[in-house]
Amino acid sequence: MSKARVLVLISGGGSNLQALIDASLKANSSFEISHVISNRPEAGGLLRATKASIAAEALDHKSFKERAFFEDALARRIDHVTPDLILCAGFMRIMSADFVNRYEGRMINIHPSLLPNFQGLNTHARALEAGVTLHGCSVHWVNADVDQGAIIGQACVPIFPGDTPEILASRVLVQEHRLYPLCVEAVASGRAKLIHGRTFLDGLQGGIALLDNS
Ligand code: GAR
């Protein structure tokens, strides 16, 4: 069976992109990364893509007068590449409903919290502030409601007394790098599907659950 062609959207260092690249290079992988686009020209992830011989380009959102113009240009690039899946990996732009709806069922995001808790920014500081003792990350389908699409998988980590947002972020990131490739593999292989706004794994409603094994 041919591999799913994946386009990855990034904004920063791209450590999740790297985890996805590494997974895609495994012999039995169901997906290949054909293209990476960053909305920030200085994003370190672009170099990771180039090093892996993946087509990489910057589309600087700051060079567009309006968000709609940036989204039009991005959609044109995506539609030129015609990927099977679009993965947001630290892509820090909120996208309009029109843009997101165009790719419904094909666009996936990773978010650094156990959704539906702590949608939005500064998730680690907010988890510490809330006093929760379990935290983590979620991979979900992207829909028009920011950070609210159906969950494909989650990984959880403990919060220890004395943790700072930085310590917590690095503990969660280790799990992001495990979780995202597993979820993408499940979707690319056809095991995980979005049906009527819910995730089904092997035909049953539900997704992937990982516990921190450190
Ligand atoms: C990751 O922690 C990812 O979950 C988060 O940005 C970081 C990107 O790191 N994404 C969001 O906050 C999206 N709302 P990376 O560039 O090293 O993959």
**Could you read off the pLDDT of 108-117 as tens digits, one per residue?**
999 999 999 9
126 annotated as belonging to a binding site for a ligand:
no
Nearest to 52 by CA among 71, 29, 75, 33: 33
**68-94 confidence digits (pLDDT tens):** 999 999 999 999 999 999 999 999 999
Which residue's CA is minimally distant from atom 6 of ligand 1?
90
Which one of the listed residues 35, 61, 80, 111 is annotated catalytic? 111
For the Cβ of 206 lying below 6 angstroms from any atom of ligand 1, the answer is no
Could you tell which of 8, 93, 108, 110 is best to mutate to test the pocket of ligand 1, judged by most ligand atoms within 8 Å of the CB? 110
For the Cβ of 12 lying below 6 angstroms from any atom of ligand 1, the answer is yes
Nearest to 38 by CA among 3, 2, 69, 70: 70
Which structural domains are found in the chain, ordered by start? 1-103 (3.40.50.170), 113-136+153-214 (3.40.50.170)
pTM of the model: 0.97
